[in-house]
Homo-oligomer: A and B are copies of this chain.
Amino acid sequence: METETYRVPGFKASAAIAGLKKGNVLDVGLIVSEIEASAAGVFTTNKVRAAPVILSERHLQKGKARAIIVNAGNANACTGARGLDDALTTAELVAEALGINSGDVLVASTGVIGQPLNMDRIEKAVPVLAGNLSSKGIPLTARAMMTTDSFPKMSRFDGQAGGRPYRIVGVAKGAGMIMPQMATMLCFLLTDIRIEPRDLRRALVSSTEVTFNRITVDGDTSTNDTALILANGLAGNRSLSEEDTDLFSKGLRQVMGDLAQMIVRDGEGATKLVRVEIKNAASSLDARNAARTVANSSLVKTAIYGQDPNWGRIMAALGRSGIDMIEERVDIWIDQVRIVGRGLGKGPEVEKQASDIMTGKEFTLTIDLHQGGHHDSILTCDLTHEYITINADYRT
């Protein structure tokens, strides 16, 4: 059932147990396009970049690729020259197993930083991955790339271009080290639409801006963030009209938006998904900074966990965010309940209503600054005991 839902013409995938992750679980995955595909990627903005990020970016320069290999359990980051060798060797092993060029293989890793990849295990796993490739394998790959994720993340969109149907399927992993700077996780997008690499890249970048760049879990940015897209053209459509391009962009935003939301919902230890909406900021930068500062404030996030409409912490976060603001102008809502009007609290009864809304799993926190005409929003989650447990014990 699920395996049919996430099929894309011309793509096969598989997963295997390499032994990189603790427990006897899937931890490597492979995605292959039957034919050369247009390809694009966006990567972490962290100055410390993992070896697979460096390698994949290099392999994407020609705008074409055939395969993606992913592993969890080890990020192959901060591993120096050896790490880069290991990423390259991984691509070569895949190329050899598939009979393709190693320059057509993209590599992505996630997990612990600073430990060399166990290449014996990768070497043993690659033939298994190649042997098990199946058009039904995409959900398995989604499972293999999980680290502290509690569920695999998949989304689909069906569109038409010039009368020819096509599909976009995305898989992602997230959970921690999520902060809006470029991709902020691993995400692979597969589609059979026929599209030029340049147009594909443009669509990926602009969609990233409004999806993965608008989520935050803990304000930390990973060394490995990667979003890759392969478009193999098997839908057989002719050149895309403006309308076709719009629909494809919309579909991509929908799939990436779904995945982004799943990542926050599955933020490490998260129990609540909160959209922070900033209205009427003095500039777009102010709107963005206000949204990020509130969404990343430990005190706001623990108040959300406590289902406490403690708006003083929201005001304090706005006040330190560096934006233009006048305290007496600020309105704050929890969904439809206005808890602050012109900088002043609306009292215990209104806060009780807001607190009731906050017992739910999802709500919107809206802040109207009444300073100008710029808006922004970001998805965040609460900061919980479970986040501490996960991250205090991650490597042990």
Contacts and interface: CB of A to CB of B under 8 A. Distances in A.
Interface of A: 45-49, 75, 77-80, 112-115, 176-177, 179, 181, 218-223, 297-299, 302-303, 305-306, 308, 310-313, 315-320, 323, 325, 327-328, 340, 343-345, 383-385, 387-389, 391-396
A328 B51 CA distance: 13
A298 B48 contact: no
12 contacts: A47-B325, A77-B316, A79-B344, A112-B312, A113-B310, A113-B316, A177-B299, A223-B312, A302-B391, A306-B393, A308-B394, A308-B396
Given A221-B319, A315-B223, A303 B392 contact: yes
Contacts of A316: 46, 48, 77, 113, 177, 220-223
If over half of A's interface residues share one DSSP class (helix, strand or loop), that class is named, otherwise mixed; here it is loop
Contact of A298 (B114, B305, B327, B391): B391
Contacts of A112: 312
A320 B78 contact: no
Contacts of A77: 312, 315-316
The 7 tightest CB contacts between A and B, nearest first, are A113-B312, A48-B319, A306-B392, A302-B391, A46-B319, A221-B320, A47-B319
Contacts of A114: 311-312, 315, 340, 344-345
Nearest to A218: B298
Contacts of A80: 328, 343-344
Contacts of A345: 78, 114-115
Given A75-B312, A113-B315, A327 B47 contact: yes
Contacts of A223: 312, 315-316, 319
A392 B389 CA distance: 16
B344 A219 contact: no
A306 B394 contact: yes
B48 A327 contact: yes
Given A48-B318, A221-B320, 15 more contacts: A48-B316, A78-B327, A78-B345, A80-B343, A112-B312, A113-B316, A114-B311, A114-B315, A221-B319, A223-B312, A302-B391, A306-B392, A306-B394, A308-B394, A385-B385
A220 B49 CA distance: 29
Contacts of A384: 388, 392
B391 A388 contact: no
A46 B314 CA distance: 12
Contacts of A299: 176-177, 218, 220, 391
A283 B112 CA distance: 31
A116 to B, nearest CB: 9
A77 B299 CA distance: 16
A395 B48 contact: no
With most chain B CB atoms within 10 A of its CB, the pick from A177, A323, A343 is A177
Nearest to A78: B315
A179 B391 contact: no
Contact of A320 (B45, B312, B394): B45
Contacts of A115: 345
B221 A312 contact: no
A394 B307 CA distance: 11
A365 to B, nearest CB: 15
Contacts of A325: 47-48
A310 B222 contact: no
Contacts of A395: 308, 310
